[in-house]
Amino acid sequence: MIRNSSEPGYLSGQFLAAMPAMDDPRFEKAVIYICAHSEDGAMGLVINQPLEELKFPDILDQMGIEPTPACEEITVHCGGPVESARGFVLHSSDYQMDGTLVVDEAVALSATTEILKAIAYGTGPKQSLMALGYAGWGAGQLDEEIMNNAWLNVPADGALLWSPQDETKWDQALGTLGISPAMLVADAGHA
């Protein structure tokens, strides 16, 4: 189990933006919110890759939960390639229950049927992002990928995290650092 850590050097509660050097097409221009990062590994959710073929009411129907009209507006994202049939809800920390991982004072993660019911019935968190699957790294793997110029660490921003504008999140994430995508190169320099 990956432990959450607020120690320096760990990225829990921050974004990763894929660099042009990313050679995995599943993560091209991906923005990932890191839910847990420790010496044991890391886990996060891609927040800018909506699934076109699957809608939130479809998930509710599969679970025997009656969707409400508000459910039509909820986008389901591809959270990553690991356990792609498993659902996760990244949400504001105003909603917590048994099994909720509190990432920081503003954001939490839940993976239960109860949160889906709460969202469907309008009693859930103020803000949420539904995802199927997650991005995961073993011990030291994420650190190595960052050193190999695959990811850029970006401080998390609530406005970006909860924005419905998935197609601009990558540019916006880079913009928070004052970086234009045109400034990035595909290969890291070597001395």
Q: What is the pLDDT of residues 74-95, one digit of tens each?
A: 999 999 999 999 999 999 999 9
Residue 26 has pLDDT above 90, yes or no: yes
Q: What pLDDT does 23 receive? A: 86
pTM passes above 0.75: yes
- Among 19, 11, 32, which residue's Cα sits nearest to residue 160? 32
- Among 48, 1, 23, 83, which residue's Cα sits nearest to residue 154? 48
Q: What pLDDT does 9 receive? A: 54
Q: What pLDDT does 4 receive? A: 43
CB atoms within 10 A of CB 93: 17
Q: What is the pLDDT of residues 142-159, one digit of tens each?
A: 999 999 889 999 999 999
Q: Superfamily assignment of 15-183 in CATH?
A: VC0467-like (3.40.1740.10)
